Amino acid sequence: MKKEIQQGKCLPNIQTEADFQAASERGYHAASNYLKQNPKPFSEWTLDDYTKLHKLYFGEIYPHAGQMRPPGDLAAFNGRVGADSKNIPAELNLLMSQVQHLARGLGDMNTPTGLTERLNVIAFAHARLALIHPFQDGNGRLTRLIATSLEKELLPNHQVTNHVPRAVYMNAMKALPSNLGPLMNYHAERYDLRPSSLKAVRPLFPVQVTFRD
């Protein structure tokens, strides 16, 4: 946060870390409330849904809130590069199509197989969106919010019961793109679910971005 302020990425009203935190908290609640009031299957999202949610979340912080990365802006993510800016729309549309395919005929979440299938869809969407990196800033926070919305869609009647350490999350992200298991476990731990062993789970579709020059 301090780094973003020092780099001049924030609006003039964001002068301190406390300003950043307060604006981020307000934005989080605005974006969360919007998702609650406008429930929609993730596979039916449009590009406008992403940009509107980003604007709600970060409109008080960044002048580029609600705008996808401009041409020539490549985003580093754990040493990898996000989708080329001109290909972000195609990447997001592909993600929605893939999630729609993965979500067909999911098993009962009260069975080990059904639970594992649902965690796979959540982790896949989370991973792909993080690696596409559609915005200049706020991708991690927005992706986690969207993943939480997808959790509620695919794991109804379950409540978040555990705070999972950030180190667990970061290690799960470092296991990408070849292994979804740690990220599936991360989402399972949040809900105190106990699926079968998820140490190594290969994605059914490639997680890494595919449209790149």
Instruction: Write a three-state SS string for 149-202.
Output: HHHHHHCCCCCCCCCCCHHHHHHHHHCCCCCCHHHHHHHHHHCCCCCCCCCCCC
CA distance 185 to 169: 9
Beta-ladder partners of 68: 135
pLDDT bucket at 197, cuts 50 / 70 / 90: low
pLDDT per residue as tens digits for the range 50-93: 999 999 999 999 999 999 998 877 665 544 568 888 889 999 99
Residue 108 gets the label, from left (phi > 0), alpha (psi -120 to 50) or beta, of beta
Q: What is the mean pLDDT of the chain?
A: 89
CA distance 62 to 136: 9
> Which of 32, 26, 48, 24 lies closest to 149 in space, CA to CA?
32
What residue ranges define each of the domains in the chain, with the CATH number in brackets?
2-190 (1.10.3290.10)
- Tell me the average pLDDT across 142-161: 94
Amino acid 107: pLDDT: 87
Amino acid 177: pLDDT: 87
Q: For residue 49, is pLDDT > 80? A: yes
Q: How far is CA 158 from the centre of its chain?
A: 19
Question: Pick the residue with more confidence: 57 or 201?
Answer: 57
Residue type, 20: F
Percent of the chain with pLDDT over 90: 66
